Structure 1
Amino acid sequence: MNEMQKPVIGFTCGDLNGIGLELILKTLGDHRLLEICTPVVFASNKSINFYRKSLPDINFNYASGKDFSRLNPKQVNIYPCWEEEVAITPGQLNETGGKYALISLKEAAQALKAGHIHGLVTAPIHKKNIQSADFNYSGHTPYLKDLFGVNDVVMFMVAENMRIGLVTEHVTVADVSKHITKESIISKLKIMHSSLQKDFGIDKPKIAVLGLNPHAGDEGLIGSEEENIIKPAIKEAKHNMLVFGPYSADAFFARGQYERFDAVLAMYHDQGLIPFKSLAIGEGVNFTAGLNAVRTSPDHGTAFDIAGKGKADHSSFMAATFECIEIIRLRFGYAEMRQNPLRKMSARILANAVDEKIEETE
């Protein structure tokens, strides 16, 4: 992609019986998006038309075809992943919804890997009905990790006022501590640090690490993970980045300490996502950090209860689309800067001039 080219953004349909296609229609129905990207929806013409009937106020025109070299930059493009008639039953959890969600995801992910599209926005799937011999994963994040053949990725929740990464994602609470290791924490910190630099334009990011146990273990009185695993991981990571902690999760968010950092590493899903969804300003976006491609998604699920009723709020999906485009542009600029020593030096001088030191407390 050159500096003047609009990025090509792919969109998966998600569960056919969920709100995915409605979100796509509402988001891409705003034709101003065509000024900043070329959209490609991985679905079928018939599925698009099914949901278009329930949204008569949305002016949604599209071109259809499988040739990436002939995409129409002035229209939404549909990449037809299947041609057969499919019984769409909004609001129902069934095998059909999962089957075609996976077909859409596989086609789109392969296009992303091959470089036919520059970024991917994924609509919500249901983790139960998408399971099959081809998809034995707890969600999009581990699937994309394996497809791209990378050692590790981070589920990175981003909003206007906070960014939260997770050490463990969709793991049962009973098993969380088994996955908290020094190596996993350091791996996540490295990915977050690199992502904050190249994907968010922060030259010297500051990262906070939460403890696992109440009160961050109280110096070993409540669990041993902080003393034996988390603190040694932070100590080692400090050689290469600005990282602080471990912090007691409840006080950290209640006192607004997250505002002093560029990102926070939480130990498990709810520890990070409950404060994120409670305190985030603007719409939250799920970003997969660590891939050599850009994938984002809204921070909500399939919403079967309102599917097919035209009631879905597409704000988070729109935010995921904008975030995808912005990260692509920042990555391009970062790559350009890395190739130009003068730009790189200027960026460092500027960053050092405005850098604020954080004293490690608690």
Structure 2
Amino acid sequence: MSQTTYRIGITQGDPNGIGWEVILKALSDARMTELCTPVVYGSPAAAEYYRQTIAELEPIAFHTVVSAHEARAGKVNLVACGQTGRIEPGQATAEAGRAAVEALQAAMHDLKEGRLDALVTAPIDKETVQSDAFRFTGHTEWLGAELGGEPMMILASDRLRVGLVTKHIPVSEIARSITREKIVADLHALRRTLREDFGVVEPRIAVLALNPHAGDGGLLGHEEEEVIRPAIVEAYRAGVLAFGPFAADGLFAGGGYAKYDGILAMYHDQGLAPFKTLSPDGVNFTAGLRAVRTSPDHGVAFDIAGKDRADAQSMRNAIYAAIDLTRRRRAWAEWSASPLPKAEREKSRRDATLRETPQHE
């Protein structure tokens, strides 16, 4: 596939949420099909329902296909799946959850078959998707099970990139889930994705503390001295430019985060709350997988579903990011593959040039 026509799969998310609204708004710009070949997975009936709720929308002529294999460049392609008998904006229903999962499964099938270059997911409701076919706390965990590897949740924008040590777990389980080995592995993983996916030559990574005031020398907890700091030292000695642990409030409020290419947070809200405040239109990127997946950094927003109030900028950015991340990852793979033969070819060309150059005494 041409680098200018990556096939980007887009799943509908919960059909009772704002997924279809932000998808339609993002894809109504004709320039989007110049950047990629969108393949949307979802219900045509839901698409038409939400099209009628949006006041000012450029018409989208969907090109219906059986799979991404039939997708046409220059068109917004639609794989009909995830049908729901009744569309109820703002309602959390088991039927909508099932429809969201069906769209995900159809897109994953095409992704595994190599028919898609990347995947963008609209938000799901984590409660209504639960069934015998889907027992995961979110997209990230499901993607890890489907694609293998150890997925890392990264929130990214032009000004900030935040990775998480723990993701969708209860707060009561955070402390015992943070280990030296886990932090070291995550620091290596974050360094790798910052280099390969974001193009940072040698990233500097700030590591957040778990406790207030970074533990205050043990007065407010021992995780910093017993777990986090030793992990930072170990990773640093292995070549990762990791620093900390920093108290989260001070690093973000004081602007210190801007000195670093990435931040490693200990838990979900510690990283996401400041990120969403500083980057309201950011993107969720699942690193550590063999395929690129992004999503908007917001949820189903049942409270505004069907009211033409959803802002599509985060969805646009998720599509842009999927294209950019795929391009950079492939460029890195090409650049870093078999460097010795490439170096020999370059040397041969230089030697030939020298032989052809007249020598002056």
Question: Please, what TM-score do these two structures have when normalized by structure 1?
Answer: 0.90
C-alpha offsets along residues 103-130 of structure 1, whole Å, 9 cap, x if unaligned?
0111112222222111111001111111
**1:16–1:96: 8 Å Cα contact kept in structure 2?**
no
Q: Equivalents in 2 of 1:231, 1:254: separation in Å?
A: 22
Residues 239-293 of structure 1 deviation map (CA, whole Å, 9 limit, x = unaligned): 121111111111111111100000000001111111111122x621100010110
Instruction: Please state if 1:71 is matched with 2:71.
Output: yes
Change (3 A) 1:85 1:133: closer
Task: Answer whether contact 1:38 1:74 (CA < 8 A) is retained.
Answer: yes
In structure 2, the residue matched to 1:19 is 18
Matching residue of 2:349: none
Kept in 2: contact 1:338–1:344 (CA 8 A): no
Match of 2:272 in 1: 273
Contact 2:55 2:308 in 1 (8 A): no
- Report the Cα distance in structure 1 between the residues aligned to 2:240 and 2:202, rounded to whole angstroms: 8
Aligned 8 A contact 1:182 1:230 in 2: yes
**Which residue of the partner structure matches residue 193 of structure 1?**
191
How far apart are the structure 1 equivalents of 2:159 and 2:340? 31
Specify the code of the residue in structure 1 equivalent to 2:308: G
Q: What TM-score comes out, normalization by structure 2 length? A: 0.91
In the TM superposition, what is the alpha-carbon distance from 1:93 to its structure 2 partner?
1.1
Structure 2 letter corresponding to 1:60? I
- Does the CA-based 8 Å contact 2:39-2:68 persist in structure 1? no
Unaligned runs of 5+ in 2: 344-361
Match of 2:151 in 1: 153
Q: Which amino acid aligns with 1:212?
A: L
CA distance in 2, matches of 1:74, 1:154: 33
Q: Which amino acid in structure 1 is aligned with residue 233 of structure 2?
A: K
- What is the alpha-carbon distance in structure 2 between the residues aligned to residue 236 and residue 343 of structure 1? 34
Write the distance in 2 (CA, Å) between the matches of 1:259 and 1:184: 25
Secondary structure at the residue paired with 2:95? helix
1:26-45 alignment, distance < 5 Å: 26-45=25-44
**Aligned counterpart, 1:306:** 304
Single out whichever of 12-21 and 58-67 deviates more from structure 2. 58-67
Alignment size in residue pairs: 341
Structure 2 equivalent of residue 177 of structure 1: 175
1:81 maps to what in 2? Answer: 81
Contact 1:153 1:188 in 2 (8 A): no
Structure 2 Cα separation of the partners of residues 149 and 250 of structure 1:
34
How far the C-alpha of 1:178 sits from its partner, in A, is: 1.3
315 and 85 in structure 1: CA distance in 2 versus 1, 3 angstrom threshold: closer
Alignment of 1:1-362 (within 5 A): 1-3=1-3, 5-55=4-54, 57-58=56-57, 59-82=59-82, 86-150=85-149, 152-238=150-236, 239-280=238-279, 283-339=281-337, 341=339
Note if contact 1:14-1:122 (Cα within 8 Å) is conserved in structure 2.
Answer: yes
Provide Cα deviations, 1:314-345, integer angstroms capped at 9, x if missing partner: 01111111111110111121112113739999
State the distance in 2 between where 1:145 and 1:340 align.
Answer: 28
Specify the structure having the higher radius of gyration (Cα).
2
Query: How many Å separate the matches in 2 of 1:343 and 1:305?
Result: 58
* 8 Å contact from structure 1 (residues 337, 343) kept in 2: no
Deviation, 1:56, is 5.5
| SS of alignment partner, residue 284 of structure 2 | strand
Shift of 1:220: 2.1
